[in-house]
Amino acid sequence: MIIDYETLKLLWWVLVGILFIGFAVTDGMDMGVGILLPFLGKKDIERRVIINTVGPHWDGNQVWLITAGGAIFAAWPLVYGAAFSGFYFAMLLALFGLFFRPVGFDYRSKIEDPRWRNGWDWGLFIGGLVPALIFGVAFGNLLQGVPFHLDTLLRPYYTGSFFALLNPFALLAGLVNVAMLAMHGAIWLQLRTAEPISTRAKGAAKTWGLVTIVAFGLAGVWLVFDIEGYRVISMPALDAQPNPLTKQVVREAGAWLGNYQAYPLTLAFPVLGFLGLGLALILSSLDRPGLGLILSGLGITGVIMTAGATMFPFIMPSSTNPNSSLIVWDAVSSHLTLTIMFWAAVVFVPIIIGYTTWTYAKMWRRVTVEEIKAQEHLAY
């Protein structure tokens, strides 16, 4: 089936969103568990329980991130190049944070020395916290615009600094992400562990849930009143050969509210964010973590979709040369590539969801201290 170019460009924006959501809901949860690990596990055996709730799944879940990266490379090559090279040290920091996870999970329990194990526990903490923070900070910077421009041969030049990325609004966005994933991870632990860890997890879900809601609300207010948005004034036809230098963009106050004014239905996204997070919080405190986990997943979906809908069609606005901004219509790959990739995603994403579900079903249980003791040398 041939899908026209304009539709495909839009579909790819949706697909990248789905990959981000898949990452946040699955591996984000594992990162949240990593962040909570040193605090909810008081003893070595308790920490092993916590680790083993995500042990069989974190590696597969992490591929959402890797595939999202690959999909951006293939579908939005300029975004991949400009964002990763512009945010050079931030990206490397996230990368070095991620390093702790594969080795942390696999090596931690191989040696009994408490210093070794404690060291890796903090490694898993960093491996959850740092990437979650950086990805939030990155979104916070995208919402404000990034100081970069393109030359006539479309080479991107980043003119900001690493520390400029760590501005207050971006850090708030980072906090939203960290808190959101910590809450999601806490509800997971509440569901999959027994006393006393599950009660501690319930407490953590409450704290981090409240932080998320407040921080997300604060970021919204800040965005409405104080963050200048971007607006396309003129551009070639939507199905034109993509060239990011042929449009005109202005930066102005209130521009980020344009989509919500033009399409009020999009307000459903922030509503979904607040509602999902709020209900998750309530369900968790009512000892219904199963339903709570689904709702926190929906809340995360709402938060990510809010960020996307606010900026649409912008992916990476430029603060120093707004016309260089990268948008859904002109930072994309060719019609053929988008078509092939689209069908690859349509075929494989449901298959992936299918077998991932099977693995969760097979491993479904409350992980207990007794079980870990019985499988001392097999478990993580």
Partner 1 sequence: MLDSTMIELSRWQFASTAMYHFIFVPLTLGMVWILFIMESVYVMTGRQIYQDMTKFWGKLFGINFALGVTTGLTMEFQFGTNWSYYSHYVGDVFGAPLAIEGLMAFFLESTFIGLFFLGWERLTKVQHLTVTFLMALGSNLSALWILIANGWMQNPVGAEFSYETMRMEMTSFTALLLNPVAQVKFVHTVAAGYVTASMFVLGISSYYMLKGRDLAFARRSFSVAAGFGLASILSVILLGDESGYEVGDVQKTKLAAMEAEWETEPAPAAFTLFGFPDNEAEETHGAVKVPYLLGLIATRSLDTQVTGLKDLMVEHERRIRSGMIAYDYLERLRGGHDTEANRAVFEDHKQDLGYGLLLKAYTADPSQATEAQIKQAAKASIPQVAPLFWSFRVMVAAGAWMLLLMVLGFYYNAKRVIEKKRWLLRLFLFSIPVPWIAVETGWFVAEFGRQPWAIGEVLPTAIAASSLTVTDLVVSLSAFGVVYSILFAIGIYLMFKFARLGPSSLHTGRYQHEQPLTAGTATLATQPQRRAD
| CA–CA distance, 81 with 135 (Å, rounded to integer) | 16
- Say how many residues make up the chain: 380
Residue 263 or 358: the one with the smaller Cβ distance to partner 1 is 358
| CA–CA distance, 241 with 329 (Å, rounded to integer) | 9
Residue 173 or 345: the one with the smaller Cβ distance to partner 1 is 345
Residue 246 or 261: the one with the smaller Cβ distance to partner 1 is 246
Q: Do residues 233 and 250 lie in contact, with contact meaning Cβ atoms separated by under 8 Å?
A: yes
CA 148 to each of CA 82, 87, 212, 250: distance values in angstroms, whole numbers, following the listed order = 8, 11, 31, 15
Residue 251 or 366: the one with the smaller Cβ distance to partner 1 is 366
Residue 268 or 349: the one with the smaller Cβ distance to partner 1 is 349
Q: The tokens of 346 are what?
A: 């349509």
Minimum distance from residue 30 beta carbon to partner 1 (Å): 11
**Helix, coil or strand: residue 103:** helix
Minimum distance from residue 125 beta carbon to partner 1 (Å): 17
Residue 26 or 144: the one with the smaller Cβ distance to partner 1 is 26
- For residue 313, cis peptide bond before it (omega within 30 degrees of 0): yes
Minimum distance from residue 96 beta carbon to partner 1 (Å): 6
Minimum distance from residue 201 beta carbon to partner 1 (Å): 20
Residue 176 or 197: the one with the smaller Cβ distance to partner 1 is 197
| CA–CA distance, 380 with 363 (Å, rounded to integer) | 14
Q: Where are the beta strands (DSSP E) in 245-343?
A: 248-253, 314-316, 326-327
Minimum distance from residue 9 beta carbon to partner 1 (Å): 13
Minimum distance from residue 271 beta carbon to partner 1 (Å): 32
Q: Do residues 254 and 229 lie in contact, with contact meaning Cβ atoms separated by under 8 Å?
A: yes
Residue 3 or 91: the one with the smaller Cβ distance to partner 1 is 91
Phi, psi of 87 (to 5 degrees): -85, 40
- Non-local (6+) Cβ contacts of 15 within 8 A are 71, 75, 342, 345
Torsion of Cα atoms, 284 then 290 then 296 then 301, to 10°: -170
Minimum distance from residue 198 beta carbon to partner 1 (Å): 19
Q: Do residues 62 and 33 lie in contact, with contact meaning Cβ atoms separated by under 8 Å?
A: no
Minimum distance from residue 257 beta carbon to partner 1 (Å): 31
Residue 65 or 280: the one with the smaller Cβ distance to partner 1 is 65
Residues 173, 175, 181, 183: is their CA dihedral positive or negative? Answer: negative
- Bridge partners of 228, per DSSP, are 253
Residue 167 or 356: the one with the smaller Cβ distance to partner 1 is 356
Q: The tokens of 325 are what?
A: 């901004």
- Non-local (6+) Cβ contacts of 157 within 8 A are 148, 149, 150, 151
Minimum distance from residue 58 beta carbon to partner 1 (Å): 7
Minimum distance from residue 291 beta carbon to partner 1 (Å): 25
